[in-house]
Amino acid sequence: MAVNEFSENFLWGAASAANQIEGGWNKGGKGPSVLDIITNEKDGFLRLTTPEIDIDKYYYPSHEASDFYHRYKEDIKMLSEMKLKCLRVSIAWSRIFPNGDDEVPNEEGLKFYDNVFEELKKYNIEPIVTISHYEPPLALAINYGGWTNRKLIDFYIKYCETIFNRYKNKVKYWITFNEINCLIVPFGALTAGALLIDEEKNTEEVRFQALHHQFVASALAVNLGHNINSEFKIGCMIAYMCGYPSTCNPKDIIKAQQHDQIKNMLCSDVQVRGEYPGFAKRYFRDNGINILIEEEDYEIIKNGKVDFYSLSYYMTNCIGVDETKDKTSGNLIVGLKNPYLKASEWGWQIDPDGLRWVLNNVYDRYKIPIMIVENGLGARDVVTENKTVEDDYRIEYLRKHIEQMKEAIDDGINLIGYTPWSAIDLVSLSGGEMEKRYGFIYVDKNNQGEGTLERIKKKSFYWYKKVIESNGKSLENL
Ligand code: BGP
């Protein structure tokens, strides 16, 4: 193969998540998920409420989202026109088990995803399915205390068994947990861990306990999946929080390395290599973190290694000992500003070269196939008079990242797929906004939930179509 080329069967796609795209939050027997209690106040600020849902008083962005639940046929048809080879979706756990601990699954929920997968099949679009993307059933948070409770492992495995069996001939690629490492930071407590706790109780120890249960659950799911269909490819998914040393001061270098180990590598070491790394044990000791690990867990984790590594990559920042320097943040983590980088309107520092660094860093360590399952630019798009969106800034962002993917492939990395965030406009995770748009397709809806939900193809839609048709050769703007 010549240098700088994407493989012939490279999975060009786009990404989404059920809670951010589907809506239909209480339709077809679906129970509420933890995301369904998150409101968005008029000014666009996210606010966590008590578990009671008061739709007369508050606006909940996930309840209707982009209404994919009712419009999936139209949406998939449009996406097929962009020539997608794959689409990353998640299954809303509470559509299948409304309370998480139900005896029998909800047939209407199962049928919905049958329909979605059949629709994708019609256009030869391969589904990449996230089993848990920030949407555990709310009842598991209320009645069991979320993922700190070991019982969640059994509920999750029952859910996996149900969907693996049901979709074994329709889905090949699975991701056990979205951005599993975000449980290491406080933001992930409710969304990833189903932990309905206030700030005081949101400690590292609590979150690491929850995370440990997810490691066990993920490993069991990998095994179960392979037994149900040996063709299944089951991956981990890491939010890569890349932090460069802020200077060449050796203290900064060490601090940045420790950041990379704990925030990024700890989870994938467990999921890819099958054991806790030494630095995790030290971190637990140094920080007084005591978690309960059953003897059998070590064996389970060792026997449930993933088939591929997937990641989200949006930005980078810097890490250093001088905390007085200017700060910058994404949705998960705060770091120091990098004077060499420009940022998005939301302050996320744009760094295509960082993607090449990350891919090399990961591949050198694990030597298993890598898929980039999220990457994109959140921006305020404007619909023009002739009904399109001139999102050249998004094209620029994606183009530069794809160029670096090519470099990484030339460096020898086995990159198998790319699903930019997001397929169509959807609710933003960190602010509950609709107006922080990522999609190739515009969805007419604002932060207050007003709009016709009409779909409009953006300029990036036509550009990405050309990229896919040329298998990454043609990257120039239109
Ligand atoms: C990732 C999440 C996605 C998505 C994305 C963009 O962390 O996996 O669900 O939302 O970030 O973030 P945001 O919506 O906060 O801009």
Q: How far is the CA of 135 from the centre of ligand 1 (A)?
A: 13
- Taking the model in full, what pTM does it have? 0.97
116 assigned to some structural domain: yes
Convert the pLDDT of each residue in 344-361 to its tens digit: 999 999 999 999 999 999
Convert the pLDDT of each residue in 116-136 to its tens digit: 999 999 999 999 999 999 999
The domain in which residue 72 lies consists of 11-245+259-315+351-469
Nearest to 312 by CA among 463, 181, 460: 181
275 assigned to some structural domain: yes
User: How far from 473 is each of 185, 276, 374, CA to CA, in Å?
Assistant: 38, 40, 21
Pocket test for ligand 1, best of 20, 312, 346, 422 (most atoms within 8 A of CB): 312
238 assigned to some structural domain: yes
**Is the confidence at residue 1, as pLDDT, over 70?**
no
50 assigned to some structural domain: yes
Convert the pLDDT of each residue in 237-293 to its tens digit: 999 999 999 999 999 999 999 999 999 999 999 999 999 999 999 999 999 999 999
C-alpha 359/C-alpha 240 separation (Å) is: 10
The catalytic position among 126, 135, 374, 433 is 374
Convert the pLDDT of each residue in 7-34 to its tens digit: 999 999 999 999 999 999 999 999 999 9
Residue 451 DSSP label: S
Q: 20, 376 in Cβ contact below 8 A?
A: no
Looking at the chain, the whole-number percentage of residues with pLDDT higher than 90 is 88
478 assigned to some structural domain: no
Average pLDDT over residues 169-181: 98
C-alpha 130/C-alpha 313 separation (Å) is: 17
Which pLDDT does position 181 carry in this prediction? 97
The helix (run of H) or strand (run of E) holding residue 234 is strand 233-239
326 assigned to some structural domain: no
Pocket lining for ligand 1, CB < 6 angstroms: 17, 20, 178-179, 239, 312, 331, 374, 378, 421, 428-430, 436
Structural domain count, the chain: 1
Helix (H, G, I), strand (E, B) or coil at 355: helix
Residue 95, C-beta contacts closer than 8 angstroms, at least 6 positions apart: 18, 28, 29, 30, 31, 106, 109, 112, 113
Report the atom number in ligand 1 closest to the C-alpha of 182.
Answer: 7
Nearest to 152 by CA among 168, 171, 166, 132: 132
SS (H, E, C) 271-291: HHHCCCCHHHHHHHHHCCCCC
Residue located nearest, by CA, to atom 4 of ligand 1:
429
DSSP string over 70-83: HHHHHHHHHHHHTT
Judge residue 23's burial from the number of C-beta atoms within 10 Å of its C-beta, 0-12 exposed, 13-18 middle, 19 or more buried.
buried
Convert the pLDDT of each residue in 281-327 to its tens digit: 999 999 999 999 999 999 999 999 999 999 999 999 999 999 888 88
- CATH number, position 384: 3.20.20.80
Helix (H, G, I), strand (E, B) or coil at 396: helix
The helix (run of H) or strand (run of E) holding residue 162 is helix 151-166
The catalytic position among 135, 179, 204, 433 is 179
28 assigned to some structural domain: yes
Which pLDDT does position 41 carry in this prediction? 64
Which pLDDT does position 222 carry in this prediction? 98
| Annotated catalytic residue 450 | no
299 assigned to some structural domain: yes
Report the atom number in ligand 1 closest to the C-alpha of 17.
Answer: 9
